[in-house]
Amino acid sequence: MIEPEVLRKLYSVSSANHNRINCDQCHTSAPHNDHVLDNHYEKVACQTCHIPEYAKVNATKLYWDWSSAGQTDEEGNGYSEDDADGNHNYLSIKGNFVWDDHVKPEYYWFNGTVDHYLSSDTIAEVPVKINTLFGEYRDSTAKIWPVKVHRGKQIYDTENNTLISLKLWAPEKGQGAFWKDFDWDTAARLGMEYNDRPYSGNYDFIASEVYWPINHMVSPKEQTLACIECHQRDGRLAGLNDFYLPGRDYNKSVDYAGFGLIFLTLIGIVAHFLGRVVAFFKNR
Ligand code: HEC
Ligand code: HEC
Ligand code: HEC
């Protein structure tokens, strides 16, 4: 049996928007009793403010370097090594991993549709995007989403400029499976043969990225992302430059207005909060 495992694993990011339970199905699209917060609905996903970090309990795998796979002990057998937290950081069959917890997401426009790198595609850019999230500011269906970006290095054909599907598994040694024999060239040749795709015999490793919009682990409301995390120059949205964001973007007089607006709303929110506190004590 030959598994095009390299690609298949990475394909598993769901591309469609269906079957997703949306926050607003339970909470409505205006859950805050505060129109400034509610106004963000058009352009900022609930998750962006309410999931300020991910992997809050267990570490998550952020980086996977296949190129170091295949090292063996004196007897020619594979082995594994763990990091201080007990997560594998080296496996002969898979290479090096980097894990982390309490990770800040990266932010992308996302309209719910995704494009996947197909095994027959030629590599157009480095890093190779195994999937691409679509969306931009002008797209009325797109919002800013928190995203886990999984980076890695994987084997590709340097002449055909395609990612390689390896033969990974076989019941016995000597049948060309990478996980038994640790021979890249043979595993690449057999894997590509099985998939009916050309293999030039020349391979190297190339950087790749996979994007996972984050949907889980809403934080307690006290830990929601603060205004200033986005509305400042080097804030979390520093990489999204296709729109004007008050407080972040400085040029022209509109900035002045932007700052003023933020300031006023902050005062508004504080006043609103104080109002609630007062009301609370009044009603006791
Ligand atoms: C721009 C950031 C931002 C966005 C986007 C956002 N929220 Fe919030 N949310 C907050 C902040 C800040 C609070 C806490 C302050 C408050 O409750 O006044 C909060 C509080 C809440 C609460 C608790 C309210 C309460 O009074 O207990 C819920 C529920 C909630 N948000 C749901 C959502 C949902 C659902 C969405 C998407 C439709 C969403 N939020 C989008 C910032 C945001
Ligand atoms: C199946 C229904 C459902 C869905 C879907 C849902 N929530 Fe909730 N959520 C609730 C309920 C119920 C509560 C508790 C309400 C309460 O305590 O008053 C709650 C509480 C919250 C709170 C307040 C937490 C606190 O510290 O008091 C926030 C913030 C929140 N949800 C955000 C979200 C976001 C963001 C999403 C989408 C990722 C989401 N919820 C999806 C039902 C849901
Ligand atoms: C996740 C990042 C993020 C956070 C956190 C955030 N904002 Fe925003 N905010 C945005 C984006 C993106 C826009 C631009 C929306 C657009 O152009 O339509 C925006 C627009 C605004 C605007 C101008 C549009 C309007 O609603 O009038 C104001 C004011 C504002 N935010 C205030 C706040 C305040 C106050 C907070 C904290 C309570 C806050 N924002 C938290 C991302 C954020």
- Minimum CA distance residue for ligand 2 atom 19: 27
Mean pLDDT for 97-110 is: 95
pLDDT of 29 over the 60 cut: yes
d(CA 157, CA 201): 7
User: Which residues have any ligand 1 atom within 6 Å of their CB?
Assistant: 23-24, 27, 29, 31-32, 34, 37, 40-41, 44, 46, 48-50, 221, 224
What pLDDT score does 262 carry? 67
Tell me the ligand closest to 38's alpha carbon. Answer: 1
Using the mean position of ligand 3's atoms as its centre, give its distance from the Cα of residue 33 in Å.
15
Tell me the ligand closest to 246's alpha carbon. Answer: 3
The rounded percent of the chain whose pLDDT value lies above 90 is 69
d(CA 23, CA 129): 28
- Residue with the bigger pLDDT between 200 and 265: it is 200
Under 8 Å between Cβ of 158 and 205: no
Using the mean position of ligand 3's atoms as its centre, give its distance from the Cα of residue 237 in Å.
11
Q: How many other CB atoms are found less than 10 A from the CB of residue 277?
A: 9
pLDDT of 9 over the 50 cut: no
Using the mean position of ligand 2's atoms as its centre, give its distance from the Cα of residue 276 in Å.
21
Q: How many other CB atoms are found less than 10 A from the CB of residue 127?
A: 15
Under 8 Å between Cβ of 7 and 163: yes
Using the mean position of ligand 2's atoms as its centre, give its distance from the Cα of residue 27 in Å.
7
Which amino acid makes up residue 94?
K
pLDDT of 258 over the 80 cut: no
Q: Which atom of ligand 1 is nearest to the CA of 26?
A: 35
d(CA 154, CA 132): 17
What pLDDT score does 281 carry? 62
Model confidence over 111-152: pLDDT tens digits? Answer: 999 999 988 899 999 999 999 999 999 999 999 999 999 999
CA distances for 141 relative to 45, 112, 114, 123, 147, angstroms: 11, 8, 13, 29, 17
Any residues with CB less than 8 A from the CB of 125 and at least 6 apart, and which? none
Under 8 Å between Cβ of 193 and 166: no
Residue 110 burial (10 A CB sphere; 0-12, 13-18, 19+)? buried
pLDDT of 283 over the 80 cut: no
For a ligand 3 pocket test, name from 224, 230, 244, 249 the mutation site with the most ligand atoms within 8 angstroms of its C-beta.
Answer: 230
pLDDT of 255 over the 60 cut: no
Residue 51 burial (10 A CB sphere; 0-12, 13-18, 19+)? buried
Residue 178 burial (10 A CB sphere; 0-12, 13-18, 19+)? buried
Mean pLDDT for 83-95 is: 91
pLDDT of 280 over the 90 cut: no
Q: How many other CB atoms are found less than 10 A from the CB of residue 33?
A: 9
Average pLDDT over all residues of the chain: 86
d(CA 19, CA 239): 30
Model confidence over 167-202: pLDDT tens digits? Answer: 999 999 999 999 999 999 999 999 999 999 999 999
Taking the CA atoms of residue 40, residue 45, residue 49 and residue 55 in that order, the dihedral angle to the nearest 10 degrees is -170
